[in-house]
Chains A and B, each alone.
Chain A
Amino acid sequence: MLMLRQIYWLASKDILIEARSRQTIGLVVVLGVLIIVVLGLGLEPSQTSGFSATAILWVAYLFGGVLCFEKTMAVERHDEALAGLLLAPIDRGAIYIAKLISNLILMFSLAIVVTPVAVLLFHFDLSAALGAFVLIMSISMVGFAAVGTLFSATISSSRLQGGLLAMLIFPISLPLVITSSQLLLRIFRGNQELSFSGLSILIAFDVIFLVASWLVFELILEP
């Protein structure tokens, strides 16, 4: 119970800072829209007929997500606030979960803006299985954020150049991209039902990396 409250305080602190500075969300959303515009200009209209929806959205989510992870951890790095957290008598797992929640809130805000823009610009028709789309993308994002939060804390030394985080997270997240695109292709193109076996890969990804991050987090946090 105490831990839940600590997680709440930690996450609401992040959200309060974001509400004050509005640094991350604006940046991330504009980046996502830009990516979609660039892809839209680069692809022929015939190639963007709905089927490439997941690929285009994934590119926007991946890059936007990495920016989220970097920014939310930068808040802790500034003035060594992270050391202040580590000094406090709280479980490091609580810090991880709280950061994960803050990142997810930011990423979902990104998705809420970017997805309709993509739908509008590319004439995606998600109405056939909107629920399945939301479900698959949400589960994928949890896994992506789980890995991203872990690595953003691992490379928390401020001297590291940007781009490293993307290098670390992208290959790890490929199972999410492959699975979710294949599942959505089957649903939208093949008119198939959502298969549980496909969904279970996404769920397994989430569970494995949440547990692994929780276990590892205790060992890695050093200011």
Chain B
Amino acid sequence: MHAASTGTSTTPETPQAADSRPPEDVSAPTTTATSTTAAVHAVNMTKTIDERLILDRINFTIRPGQYVTLLGANGAGKSTMLRILASLSQPSRGKLTVFGHELTRASSPSLRARIGMIGHQPMLYRELAAVENLTFFGRLYGLPDARTRAMELLEYVGLADRAGDPVKAFSRGMTQRVAIARALMHEPDLLLADEPFAGLDAPSTRMVELMLARLHDEGRTIILTNHDITQSLRLAEHALVLHGRRIALDEPTADLDPEEVLKKVGWTSC
């Protein structure tokens, strides 16, 4: 249905490829087969912030329903990448399609409605009650009965009895669960989770893990960044490793062990 985007993405090597390093070879064979169906498809995606290269001609494809973990050292560009995928930030060069639509600054609201994000920060209003927060965001997503949906989700994350309390009264783990509920209000097809386990205690971590697994079972695409490599490899089915501003590894997690990944991240070179 997106013939135009498919046509252009088969010729990924645009002028900026006149660099010494060869392009990643993933794009060429897989593009035609997957770009109409891929959940996320990046072709030579480059991001510079303050004229510093953060991501350098990244190519990868994520299938719908895949549970992918994005790994990398601190400052490797994981959060930047998720922000770009969430359309909060734009690639400086290159192309990024999500569900076959190109993500641009003015990308259509209908596309944004299919993406959900759990960030470092909860993205909630502290003064408002949990249920008010969820209802508010649900309305922005055009949900017909936002309040009912909000209560359902609070039930789902186990906070139904605290629905009326302001978010500022919540602990870190509870806030994180409300944030997850916020990301799920509009039933996104693509869920981006940026360090969702940061600062959580063991029971909360387990709860979030189970929640993500359940979402995966429902057929949603999940991209998870995490600093705990072992945990990530246990949870996800596919791993993308960012190193040296590029994708250093793009493999199913079943074939990987944490030591190998650590090596790829550049840990041993120190």
Distance from B84 Cβ to chain A, minimum over Cβ atoms (Å)? 11
Judge whether A43 is part of the interface by a CB distance below 8 angstroms: no
Interface contact B140-A89, CB-CB below 8 Å: yes
Interface contact B182-A89, CB-CB below 8 Å: no
Interface contact A81-B142, CB-CB below 8 Å: no
Distance from B185 Cβ to chain A, minimum over Cβ atoms (Å)? 10
Interface contact A85-B140, CB-CB below 8 Å: yes
Q: Mark A57-73, 1 if CB is under 8 A from B, else 0.
A: 00000000000000000
Stretch from B91-99, B125-133, B248-256 forming part of the interface with A: B125-133
Inside 8 A of B116's CB, which chain A residues have their CB? 87
Stretch from A9-17, A99-107, A111-119, A137-145 forming part of the interface with B: A9-17
Q: Which of B125, B132, B141, B142 has the most CB of A within 10 A?
A: B125
Q: Which of A16, A81, A218, A219 has the most CB of B within 10 A?
A: A81
Q: Mark B88-119, 1 if CB is under 8 A from A, else 0.
A: 11000000000000000110011111011101
A222 to B80, alpha carbons, bound, how many Å? 12
A13 to B115, alpha carbons, bound, how many Å? 23
A84 to B121, alpha carbons, bound, how many Å? 10
Inside 8 A of B109's CB, which chain A residues have their CB? 89-91
Q: Mark B139-178, 1 if CB is under 8 A from A, else 0.
A: 1111000000000000000000000001000000000000
Distance from A87 Cβ to chain B, minimum over Cβ atoms (Å)? 6
Interface contact B140-A78, CB-CB below 8 Å: no
Interface contact A81-B123, CB-CB below 8 Å: yes
Q: Mark B252-269, 1 if CB is under 8 A from A, else 0.
A: 000000000000000000
A75 to B126, alpha carbons, bound, how many Å? 9
Interface contact A89-B128, CB-CB below 8 Å: no
Q: Which of B112, B113, B116, B140 has the most CB of A within 10 A?
A: B140
Inside 8 A of A218's CB, which chain B residues have their CB? 105-106
Inside 8 A of A90's CB, which chain B residues have their CB? 109, 140
Distance from A41 Cβ to chain B, minimum over Cβ atoms (Å)? 36
The one of A9, A80, A222 that contacts B136, using a Cβ cutoff of 8 Å = A9
Interface contact A75-B125, CB-CB below 8 Å: yes
Judge whether B216 is part of the interface by a CB distance below 8 angstroms: no
Known: A85-B140, A87-B86, A222-B88. A80 touches B106 (CB 8 A): no
Tell me whether chain A's interface is mostly helix, strand or loop, or mixed. helix
Interface contact A84-B137, CB-CB below 8 Å: yes
Judge whether A164 is part of the interface by a CB distance below 8 angstroms: no
Inside 8 A of A17's CB, which chain B residues have their CB? 125, 127-128
A166 to B197, alpha carbons, bound, how many Å? 40
A91 to B142, alpha carbons, bound, how many Å? 13
Judge whether A159 is part of the interface by a CB distance below 8 angstroms: no
Distance from A122 Cβ to chain B, minimum over Cβ atoms (Å)? 37
The one of B89, B126, B136 that contacts A13, using a Cβ cutoff of 8 Å = B136
Judge whether B200 is part of the interface by a CB distance below 8 angstroms: no
Inside 8 A of B115's CB, which chain A residues have their CB? 87
Judge whether A20 is part of the interface by a CB distance below 8 angstroms: yes
A90 to B136, alpha carbons, bound, how many Å? 13
Interface contact B117-A79, CB-CB below 8 Å: no
Q: From A88, which residue of chain B is reached at the shortest CB distance?
A: B140
Judge whether A178 is part of the interface by a CB distance below 8 angstroms: no
A39 to B182, alpha carbons, bound, how many Å? 49
Known: A84-B123, A87-B88, A87-B117. A219 touches B105 (CB 8 A): yes
Judge whether A2 is part of the interface by a CB distance below 8 angstroms: yes
Distance from A220 Cβ to chain B, minimum over Cβ atoms (Å)? 10
Interface contact B125-A89, CB-CB below 8 Å: no
A218 to B109, alpha carbons, bound, how many Å? 13
A20 to B165, alpha carbons, bound, how many Å? 12
Known: A9-B139, A17-B127. A223 touches B88 (CB 8 A): yes
Distance from A24 Cβ to chain B, minimum over Cβ atoms (Å)? 12
A90 to B87, alpha carbons, bound, how many Å? 13
Given contacts A20-B127, A20-B166, A84-B137, 10 further A-B contacts (CB under 8 A): A75-B127, A80-B119, A81-B123, A81-B125, A83-B117, A83-B123, A84-B182, A87-B86, A87-B123, A90-B140
Q: Which residues of A contact B (CB under 8 A)?
A: 2, 6, 9-10, 13, 16-17, 20-21, 75, 78-81, 83-91, 218-219, 222-223
What are 8 pairs between A and B in contact, CB < 8 Å? A13-B136, A16-B132, A79-B123, A83-B123, A89-B110, A89-B141, A89-B142, A218-B105
